[in-house]
Amino acid sequence: SANTPTAEFIKNPKWQFPESPAEHNLKEAIGQDCEFIDARALAVQLLGDGIYTNPLMLGYVWQKGWVPLSHESLVRAIELNDVMVEKNLAAFEWGRAIAENGSAAVTPGLQKSEASKMPETTAQVIAMPETLAALIERNAQMLTAYQNAAYAKRYVDAVKSIQTRQNSISGDQAQELTRAIAQNLAKLMAYKDEYEVARLYADPAFTDKLRAQFEGEPGKDYRLKFYLAPPQLAKKDNKGHLIKKQYGPWMMHAFRLLTKFKGLRGTALDVFGKTAERRQERQLVDDYLALLQELAQSVNAHNIEFAIDLAKLPDDIRGFGHIKEANLVAAQKRREMLLQRYRGATELSRVA
């Protein structure tokens, strides 16, 4: 029952998975006697990766008696496939255990008598909403790692300028505005350039994740390949779009070296920052900060709806390369329209 995006998400990034209608349609077609489990979430929880969803589901349906094959033949098929055999077999057996025992199968440490009292459903963890203060702190830490403490302070100071203004506005919309700014300013400031790509790959967390997901040591037991399109080096197709090229394991050494030069980002010595795309990304940050200065001086109860829409606009600028360019053009047109409405509402409130 995992919500997996369809191709519609590519055309409409704000598309939402129709979970309830989907379940209703399945019950109408199959009958009410059907079962739903989030096999992908269970695979991640138990084995560290959603890649084991299918063998887990296979074990589940086999245990239910819905697959007319012997246990030995399925195990042998996994062995003959010779891909992550140990973990695929573990996923298969976990699926059987979940089908047989429900949540007791994924609840370690319980005595058998205690486990038998557990309901036959997988327990759900409900995440509490992140507080605004926690959001700002998390983004500040991220921007410190991205660039430095001074860069993060620039972010915090900009958000606090709006927080000061919001105290004069009653209602939930003031909080919504500040949260939108805290999210979207961080997104713009942490644009994914060459230095950031290098930092993310050079971070030990990347290789730690590989070790958790795959057997063996990365770079020794299996090769790493990277598909990149550096603007200065990549060729273009007949539409002018950059073509990604395969690079070998040696790129890990290049990433570790490049991440040491992130302090050059945005300076005269930034060789990557001279492209039109990088200049555009820096301009987006400057434009957004200028917008925040205007909002900090004039936002009020009469124009705050337009202010919120303006603050959320960066969320529409998604993707990379030509996809991002198209989204940016649409966002800029909407920005001009919203600014006119915001300033019009501001003038009306002053007259009133």
The number of C-alpha atoms within 13 Å of 178 and in the hemisphere containing its C-beta is 25
Would the CA dihedral through 127, 132, 137, 143 be positive or negative?
Answer: positive
Q: Assess whether pLDDT exceeds 50 at residue 114.
A: no
Model confidence pLDDT, tens digit, residues 137-181: 999 999 999 999 999 999 999 999 998 887 778 778 888 999 999
- Give the pLDDT score at 11: 61
pTM for the whole thing?
0.67
| CA-to-CA dists, residue 84 to 80, 92, 212, angstroms | 11, 12, 12
Contact 348, 302 (CB under 8 A): yes
Which two tokens mark 175?
A: 């909080």
Contact 139, 184 (CB under 8 A): no
DSSP codes, 102-157: GGGGG-TT--HHHHTTS-SS-----PPPPPHHHHHHHHHHHHHHHT-HHHHHHHHH
Closest by CA to 278, choosing from 192, 171, 211, is 192
Strand partners, 227: 246
Contact 299, 307 (CB under 8 A): yes
Alpha-carbon torsion, ordered 141, 144, 150, 152, to 10 deg: -40
Q: Assess whether pLDDT exceeds 60 at residue 109.
A: no
Rounded to the nearest 5 percent, the helix, strand and coil shares of the chain are 65, 5, 30
Closest by CA to 180, choosing from 53, 32, 80, 307, is 307
Largest CA distance in the chain: 81
Ramachandran sector of residue 267 (left: φ over 0; alpha: ψ -120 to 50; beta: rest)? beta
Length of the chain: 352
Model confidence pLDDT, tens digit, residues 171-213: 788 889 999 999 999 999 999 999 999 999 999 999 999 998 8
Closest by CA to 189, choosing from 281, 258, 121, is 281
| Mean pLDDT, residues 108-115 | 41
| CA-to-CA dists, residue 259 to 168, 199, 262, angstroms | 43, 5, 6
Strand partners, 226: 247
Strand partners, 228: 245
Higher model confidence: residue 168 or residue 48? 48
